A and B are shown apart, each in its own frame.
Chain A
Amino acid sequence: MQLEKDPLGYLLRNKAGFAILEFLNDGKARPPREVRHTLGLHPQTLKEAVDHLNGLGLVSLMVPPGSKPRRVGRGVALPIELRVTRSGQEVFQLAEEVASDIRSRVRRHEKTLPAATVDRWLPA
């Protein structure tokens, strides 16, 4: 996996990453299934985005203390939860401010901008 250098740039380009961070922004640890169902994400989309956010230090995969391991095949699997880090909260806040600014500018120039840009920033 090739990591982006700039977490802010990644968040502004990646809708799923932005949505996941927005959902986790209250600081609660949540199971991947809950995140996926609430945001309506495909499992692979969730995995790719979370792996990237994990690599950027914005979301941790957390094994909650006292969690019950399960036997799978010849090994063991541990239940995990997703949790935003302090840095994740800071970067998200910044991304949200930038996104809000972009939205207001796109709205102002809606008629002259390419349709794809308008669709990206001003979803119906």
Chain B
Amino acid sequence: MAAGVKVVPVILVIGPTKWRSRYRARISPEIEASLPKWWHRRGDPVPWPVDMRACLADALRKEHQPATIMEAEAQRRTSPLETGFFLELLEKLPVGRFFAFWPRGANPAGLLWEFPLLVERAGTPPVTPDTVHVFPQDGVGDWDPETGLFEFTEKGYRTTYQRDISRCGFQIWRWSDYPTLIEIVRRVGRYAPPVKR
């Protein structure tokens, strides 16, 4: 890399790739317009969570925040392993913040694989409570003002992993529908710049 070139940390939008079987999200027409081109080619009438992640990264880039998803960085891959590729990206991009997209009805396998990788690096930049942002949809989890506890309410998630992610420390931004999610992601992207590395 040329000397004097400022490297801007990237926001990596992580999260699930597919819906659970028999679950189909409702995506409004205005969101469909900003989805990446490739989802049309898949032939599925409903975009997948990976398409939504690409859409969120695109929304962030429009706010002049460099953002990407793992699937869009395939040209950087040197490791044959998924875990190796993920860890490579953290250094190569380099990643400054993590935005975890967590919609209702998604197959959480990808997210539950990514979280422990972050937990392993908890407390070391770029994995700090200020840089890990989780965006659960209403129905995935909610908080109780009496007890001050955030509870994962969607059935079928692995509680062992949920326990693990609390070690990491992170920030939660709740949303109900996709237009609201995009607005929140833009705001968080704009207003919470990465901690200097």
Contacts and interface: CB of A to CB of B under 8 A. Distances in A.
A36 B148 CA distance: 10
A70 interface: yes
A60 B173 contact: yes
A122 B122 CA distance: 48
B101 interface: no
Contacts of A61: 143, 150, 171-174
B184 A57 contact: yes
Nearest to A34: B148
B187 A57 contact: yes
Interface stretch (A76-84, A94-102, A108-116): A76-84
Interface in B24-56: none
Interface string B123-148: 10000110000000010000111111
Contacts of A87: 187, 190-192
Contact of A75 (B145, B162, B192): B162
A75 B166 contact: no
B163 A69 contact: yes
B191 A75 contact: no
A22 interface: no
A31 interface: yes
Interface in B84-139: 122-123, 128-129, 138
A51 B180 CA distance: 12
Nearest to B193: A86
A17 to B, nearest CB: 14
Interface in B143-171: 143-153, 155, 157, 159, 162-163, 165-171
A38 interface: no
B8 interface: no
Q: Which 4 pairs across A and B sit closest by C-beta, in order of nearness? A: A65-B169, A57-B187, A87-B191, A77-B149
Interface of B: 122-123, 128-129, 138, 143-153, 155, 157, 159, 162-163, 165-176, 180, 183-184, 187-188, 190-192
9 contacts: A1-B176, A33-B148, A43-B145, A43-B146, A55-B175, A57-B187, A62-B172, A66-B167, A80-B143
